[in-house]
Amino acid sequence: MSASNSQKHFVLVHGAGHGAWCWYKIKPRLESAGHKVTALDNAASGIDTKSLEDVHSLEEYSEPLLQFIGSLGPQEKVILVGHSLGGMNLSVAMEKFPEKISAAVFLAAFLPDTTHHPWYIVDQFMQKLPLDRWLDTQFGQFGEEPFASFHFGPKFLATSLYQLSPIEDIELAKSLVRKSSFFREQVCKMKNLSNEGYGSVTRVYAVCEKDMVITKEFQHWMIQNSGVKDVVEIKGADHMPMFSKPQELSNSLLEIAHKYT
C-alpha cells in the first residue's frame, strides 16, 4: 500500500526486559490492515548489543526511540505504543518531539503526569508490589543502588506476567528476557514533564483487565491522576496482551488510529 492519509505509522515500544520480538503477533496484523509498523529495541534490550551496565539513564535507555523519531521527515508523524515500562520511554519522546507524535497509547503502561516528579508513578507502583511478589525475579545492584536492576524469573513470568498467555510464548520469554532497570537514581533527578511537551500530545490508555502486576485498579488510578483523552479496555488480557489477546489488541490500536490521527 502506498503512503496515504489513511496509512498510519505505528512505533511499538516494549516493556522492561523485553524487546521488539514481543510484538511479533501485532506487527503483521497492523501491516495487513495497510499500516506501517516499526518495532524498536530499547538500549540493552532485545538484540541491542549494549549491556545494561552501558546504559546510565532513562534517556540513554530510550536512545533508539529518540534517534528514530528524530530521523523522521518534517511532515511525518507516528503513533507511539508503549507497553509497561515503555510508558516512561514514551514520556521522554513526547517531551522532546511532541510535534512528531499524533497519538500516544499507554498499554498497561506507566503513565506520568505533569504535576509530580516523573518517578512518582513508579514509586507508587513499587509501594503496591512488595519484594515478595516478585517471586524468583533476580535483583542486583545498578550504580550505587541495591535492588535497582532486575531479571524476571521463569515463575514470575509464567504466573504473574504471562498467566493467560500461550505456553509457547512463555517459553519464548524465558529464553529472550534480559536484565533491566527502572533507572531510579537518574529519573529522580529529572525535571517534571511539561504541559507544552508531554502534556500536549493526545494520550490514550489501554487497560489490561486481568493484569496481575500493573493491576486494573492501579491502571485506573494512573488514568485519574494524569488524565487522558480516551480509555479502552482489553478484556481477558494479562500483562502481556500482545500474547494473550493479540487480535483484540490489534483491533483496539486500529480503532485508536482511526479516531485520533
- Strand 145-151 relative to strand 180-181: parallel, antiparallel, unpaired? antiparallel
Q: Which residues are part of the catalytic machinery? A: 84, 211, 239
Q: What is the pTM of this model?
A: 0.96
pLDDT value, residue 92? 99
51-92 pLDDT, tens digit each: 999 999 999 999 999 999 999 999 999 999 999 999 999 999
pLDDT value, residue 2? 40
pLDDT at 130 over 90: no
For residue 117, being part of any structural domain is answered with: yes
CATH of the domain at 115: 3.40.50.1820
**What whole-number percentage of the chain has pLDDT above 70?**
96
For residue 112, being part of any structural domain is answered with: yes
Contact 244, 26 (CB under 8 A): no
110-125 pLDDT, tens digit each: 999 999 999 999 999 9
85-111 pLDDT, tens digit each: 999 999 999 999 999 999 999 999 999
For residue 2, being part of any structural domain is answered with: no
For residue 109, being part of any structural domain is answered with: yes
For residue 36, being part of any structural domain is answered with: yes
For residue 214, being part of any structural domain is answered with: yes
For residue 192, being part of any structural domain is answered with: yes
Domain that holds residue 185: 9-259
pLDDT value, residue 6? 86
Domain count, the chain: 1
pLDDT at 185 over 90: no
Model confidence band, residue 141 (pLDDT cutoffs 50, 70, 90):
confident
For residue 54, being part of any structural domain is answered with: yes
Can you give the C-alpha Rg of the chain in angstroms? 17
